[in-house]
Chain A
């Protein structure tokens, strides 16, 4: 009985972690950006979605859509205001770009957090579930919404895989992550590819943010935690590897769930310890390439 509960709970939360992490790893893999305003983007999607659903009266589905769009717009803002200027700046030496993008997105994330807190206060909010009701799986009461979230996560990840591996645009993104210069020589416009990546990233983060709000709830106070969580999972799985992030998300999700059943006080500890272990023993992550 408990085992089944753990199986189901862990699945839902892992799927959510996976969705949140996949975008993060994609943007790093293709454009080399460690976007520390990731949590902020998800926060915007969640809060605007909640506000649109409730205060603007658009209902759950309308609110969700508005939230995703808000997340996408914030991602664009991050790219055009912070990341692109730094990457193109002539004043910053090439090998330092990474730390500047890091600091820049960090500051931008703080600005987002502060701005949202001023607009919405730091009360946690939740999105109304997309499907109401409970379903009984072999004696375990599971909210239908939880199942739906897991399904949506997998569908989105599946679509992403199709996009990257089966479409021309996706393949050019893959190529850009391996050899940007070679790609330009072949006549591809890098800026178009980067725009595409950020579009996909923004959408992913937006969906993740809205679903997070629906299942767990968000508040401006834990935006930083969201980024740290995604960052940890992505490094565990291997920076730049989408399948690695998926694997890591499930490892962390299940580890946390099992710990919560055994001793709720220590919920995040085993996952953190595992992280340290893996990074020390296998620095490139579970499925990363060196």
Chain B
């Protein structure tokens, strides 16, 4: 730069008007750059090639549209940014990192797969990003929050843990299969997976209390494709009902159960049986299968359930998977927490989310606290969230439990010998 030989006074006269102009321009542009109301961004990580995973992103978008139609959160619009993690935990972690540092979200809703949720948990702690899983079942998710609250408090578990899923199934079997159908015995059949370990442990504890003697406890390799040996074994033991814990498999055992004419009813948790395409995937062999689920079409668990289901079917052509309901609620829960906190500061959000008392589509949502074993897990119980039990009848999911929400009765196809 050429050093000017001009006198300081002339220099000042040269600079001053330009400085004023520059400052004016800068302040004008920055004033214009301050947005009227910056949107609140929520990152949503789903699995587009899976029916359950695809429901997450769809339901999240619907929730955002509903909130924005009613004025947003404190005048700010809710913006959903979606990511597909291809059912891979490492992919999900990268998506999470992108959501936090590139897309600058204020919260993340991610996945129904326990492995993915557990992989994201340490990152939500590291990056101090509130994170809720709408569908995973592992008890470890909330156990980690309990064991190290200060670090892991940003993680919330938006669906029932395995232990409570098992409890709800015990309660269901007590109310219907034991009381109405006078069943006395059962065989527990679950896939040998980490999510079924606490499930089965709870089964073995609560089924006898519900009135069912557990004759056998079969855990099969998750890669099993031929279930004939297992069903043959179960038939030989003559239980009144099979209590299942399956998620990785579902279509195959059901089809083989039907083809083999196994004369024993199947109830319990069969994640694939909760999806709306299950009937088609099994070519109707699902007739009579009972499974626990979050909600079912046509059943008003709360005033909000049916409107949401109908709107979803109208928009997407099929009913939402169980995590569609929970995701829809979770977006509202996050939005409400931000509203009450008055900011998107993570610690304030966490404090407000802990105070959640929200009537969503699956029930009344509250989270367990620091002193409970499963901190930040969904509270289970009548009046809160219990899930429902549905039975496939003639191509439709008929809700058979809880009593006050049931829209049908249990019926079994001819091949099944109804217990006593």
A–B contact with Cβ pairs below 8 Å: the answer is yes
Question: Are A118 and B49 in contact (CB-based, < 8 A)?
Answer: yes
Given contact pairs A141-B261, A216-B226, A260-B229, A123 touches B219 in the complex (Cβ within 8 A): no
**List of A residues within 8 angstroms of B228 by Cβ:** 5, 9, 146
Please indicate which of the listed interface residues A123, A127, A256 has the most CB atoms of chain B within 10 Å of its own CB. A123
Q: Is B280 an interface position by the 8 A CB rule?
A: yes
Q: Which residues of B contact A222 (CB under 8 A)?
A: 223, 225
Interface readout for B15-54 with A: 1 if CB under 8 Å, 0 if not? 0000000000000000000000000000000001111001
Q: Which of A101-109, A177-185, A264-272 forms part of the interface with chain B?
A: A264-272
Cα distance, A121 to B277, chains bound together (Å): 11
Q: Is the CB of B50 within 8 A of A123?
A: yes
CA distance A230 to B244 in the complex (A): 30
B90 proximal to A (CB < 8 A): no
Instruction: Name A123-154 residues within 8 Å CB distance of B.
Output: 123-129, 134, 140-143, 145-146
Closest-CB distance, B116 to chain A (whole angstroms): 15
Given A118-B49, A145-B259, A217-B252, decide whether A124 and B224 contact each other with a Cβ distance below 8 A. Answer: no
- The answer on a CB contact under 8 Å between B252 and A124 is yes
Which of B221, B225, B228, B259 has the most C-beta atoms of chain A within 10 angstroms of its own C-beta? Answer: B228
B8 to chain A, nearest CB (A): 70
Contacts A118-B49, A134-B260, A264-B220 given; indicate if A123 touches B283 (C-beta within 8 A): no
CA distance in complex: A122, B50 (Å): 5
CB distance from B306 to the nearest CB of A (A): 25
The answer to whether B255 touches A122 (Cβ under 8 A) is: no
Residue numbers in B under 8 Å from A160 (CB-CB): none
The answer to whether A126 and B221 touch across the interface, beta carbons within 8 angstroms, is no
A-chain residues with CB within 8 Å of residue B48 when the two chains form the complex: 118
Asked if A125 and B251 make an inter-chain contact with CB atoms under 8 angstroms apart, the answer reads yes
Asked if A124 and B223 make an inter-chain contact with CB atoms under 8 angstroms apart, the answer reads no
* CA of A69 to CA of B277, assembled, Å: 26
Query: How far does the alpha carbon of A106 sit from the alpha carbon of B355 in the complex, in Å?
Result: 51
Is the C-beta of A162 less than 8 angstroms from some C-beta in chain B?
Answer: no
Decide if A156 is an interface residue (CB 8 Å cutoff).
no
Contact of B224 with A264 in the complex, beta carbons under 8 Å:
yes
* CB atoms of B49 and A124 under 8 A apart: no
Query: A261-B233, A264-B221 are known contacts. Are A124 and B251 too (CB-CB below 8 A)?
Result: yes
Interface string of A249-290 (1 = CB under 8 A from B): 000000011001100111110000000000000000000000
Check: A56 CB closer than 8 A to any chain B CB. Answer: no
Q: Does B361 contact A (CB under 8 A)?
A: no
CB-contact partner of B251 in A123, A141, A264, A267, under 8 A? A123
A13 proximal to B (CB < 8 A): yes
- A141 proximity list for chain B (CB < 8 A): 260-261
The answer to whether B49 touches A122 (Cβ under 8 A) is yes
Q: Which residues in A have their C-beta under 8 angstroms from that of B225? A: 216-217, 222
A14, chain B: closest CB distance, angstroms: 11
> If the complex has contacts A260-B220, A265-B221, are A124 and B229 also in contact, measured as CB distance less than 8 A?
no
Contact across chains for B223 and A217 when beta carbons are under 8 A apart: no
CB pair A265 B219 closer than 8 Å: yes
Bound-state CA distance A117–B53 (Å) is 13
Give the distance to chain A from B318, nearest Cβ to Cβ, in Å.
Answer: 11
Q: Does B204 contact A (CB under 8 A)?
A: no
Number of A interface residues at 8 Å Cβ cutoff, please give it.
41
**Which of chain A's residues have a CB closer than 8 A to the CB of B232?**
2, 5, 9, 140, 261
Q: Which residues of B contact A243 (CB under 8 A)?
A: none
Contact (Cβ within 8 A) B252 A126: yes
Chain A contacts of B272 at CB under 8 A? 123-124
- List residues of chain B with CB within 8 A of the CB of A257: 226, 229
Indicate whether B250 reaches chain A with its CB closer than 8 angstroms: yes
Question: What mask results when residues 230 to 267 of chain B are scored 1 for a CB within 8 Å of chain A, else 0?
Answer: 10110010000000000001111001100111000000
Give the Cβ gap from A141 to chain B, nearest Cβ, in Å.
6
**Does B68 sit within 8 A of A, measured CB to CB?**
no
Q: Which of B87, B219, B282 contacts A126 (CB 8 A)?
A: B282
B197 to chain A, nearest CB (A): 12
Question: Is A126 a contact partner of B281 (Cβ separation < 8 A)?
Answer: yes
**Chain A residues with CB below 8 A from B140, complex form:** none
B375 on interface, CB distance cutoff 8 Å: no
CB of B347 within 8 A of chain A? no
In the complex, what residues of B have CB within 8 A of residue A216's CB?
A: 225-226, 252, 256
A225 at interface, CB cutoff 8 A: yes
Of B50, B54, B285, most A-chain CB atoms within 10 Å: B50
Question: Which of these, A143, A145, A267, contacts B224 with CB under 8 Å?
Answer: A267
Q: Once the chains are docked, how many angstroms separate the CA of A162 from the CA of B157?
A: 61
CA gap between A54 and B279 in the complex, in Å:
12
Closest residue on chain A to residue B252 by CB atoms: A217
Distance of B102 from chain A, by nearest CB (Å): 25
Output the least CB separation between A232 and chain B (Å). 13
Q: Which residues of A contact B255 (CB under 8 A)?
A: 126, 217
Asked whether A217 lies within 8 Å of B50 as measured between CB atoms, the reply is no
**What CA separation (Å) do A121 and B246 show in the bound complex?**
19
Q: Which of A127, A140, A267 interacts with B223 by CB under 8 Å?
A: A267
* CB atoms of B251 and A265 under 8 A apart: no
Query: A226: shortest Cβ distance to chain B, in Å?
Result: 10
Q: Does A200 contact B (CB under 8 A)?
A: no
Asked if A220 lies at the interface with its beta carbon under 8 angstroms from chain B, I say yes
- Do the beta carbons of A123 and B224 come within 8 Å of each other? no
CB distance from B280 to the nearest CB of A (A): 6
Cα distance A141–B261 in the bound complex, in angstroms: 8
> For residues 350 through 406 of chain B, which have their beta carbon under 8 Å from a beta carbon of chain A?
none
Q: Report the bound CA distance from A267 to B220 in whole Å.
A: 8
Distance in Å from the Cβ of A253 to the closest Cβ of chain B?
Answer: 9
CB-defined A-B contacts under 8 Å, sample of 26: A5-B229, A5-B232, A6-B229, A9-B228, A118-B48, A118-B49, A121-B49, A122-B50, A123-B50, A124-B251, A124-B272, A125-B251, A126-B281, A128-B283, A134-B261, A141-B260, A141-B261, A143-B256, A146-B228, A217-B225, A217-B251, A219-B251, A221-B87, A257-B229, A264-B218, A267-B223
